[in-house]
Amino acid sequence: MRKYLGVLVGAAALCAMSWAQTPTQAPTPAPTTDQAPAPAPAPETVPIPTPTRTATPAPPVQFPRFELFAGGSYAEAGLFNAGHWAGLPGWDASLALNATSWLGFVEEGGQYFGTSKIPGAVPAPFPTGQIFCSTPSCTFNVATREYNILFGAQFSRRKYEHWTPFGELMFGHGGTRGKAVAGGETFTEVGSGLALLAGGGADFKINQRFALRFKADYLQTRTAFPLQPKQKQDNFRFSVGIVIRSVHKKKRTLEEETQPEP
């Protein structure tokens, strides 16, 4: 028995000695992976506001403050209600004050000269009982002068570069004088009354100061003579002439004032 116990004790001692001499293995460190540093957050971009395109207001229409017109005129007139039209040359002039680019106030005057014809059977406005021509069916000549002074408005459309169309409406005073000879004696009849005008035309721009004007008008006169009551006369006229316009002077800026002259 003791023999076996000794063997067991010796075997246990040998095992203990061998365990003590075996080196302890260091624990294997966990594998480490090289991690790249996290990227820095990108800076926030502030959106740049896109400038909005606003409609550029149209420049104001330039227009002359004053317009002076003068020219020749021709009228087809029936001033004595005799049933005969007379072609009367004359002149026409006006002065316009423009309040806006499309509205102006006008004062106008004109005069026409020529010869009208009146039937001998009805010589009105001349006195009856006078022999103005040889037979009752004939017509006699009357030296005629007509004038008118009118006030009103002129409406212009200043949209085109070279042409400025316009319309006009005026009223005022008109007068007619006629001279006729009967039996060697001269008879003169003078009448007057209201005058109305409606018409229009166009200005052709020559430069900033001058323009050429064409216009046509309907002129209604209501003339009363001493021997003839007031009656309406329908007349038409055509005028051509020159327009003289006021010119706007450009205002000098501060930079232009301070800029040295070369």
For 125-145, write each residue's pLDDT tens digit.
999 888 888 887 899 999 999
pTM value is 0.72
Q: What backbone phi and psi angles, to 5 degrees, belong to 159?
A: -115, -25
Report the half-sphere exposure of 228 (CA within 13 A, side-chain side): 23
- Which range among 37-41, 147-151, 246-250 has the greatest average pLDDT? 147-151
8 pLDDT exceeds 60? no
CA distance 215 to 220: 16
What pLDDT score does 108 carry?
Answer: 98
Mean pLDDT of 27-31: 53
Cis-peptide into 31, omega within 30 deg? no
Nearest alpha carbon to residue 71 among 171, 208, 167, 214: 214
CA distance 251 to 29: 91
Q: Which residue has the higher pLDDT, 84 or 44?
A: 84
> What sign results for the dihedral spanned by CA atoms 191, 197, 201, 207?
positive
CA distance 129 to 12: 185
Q: What is the mean pLDDT of the chain?
A: 84
Q: What backbone phi and psi angles, to 5 degrees, belong to 12?
A: -70, -35
Q: Which residue has the higher pLDDT, 41 or 192?
A: 192
What pLDDT score does 130 carry?
Answer: 86
20 pLDDT exceeds 60? no
Residues 85-110 pLDDT 10s:
999 999 999 999 999 999 999 999 99
What would the two tokens of residue 49 be?
Answer: 């506001």
> What is the signed CA dihedral for 70, 76, 79, 83, rounded to 10 degrees?
180
pLDDT bracket for residue 40 (50, 70, 90): low
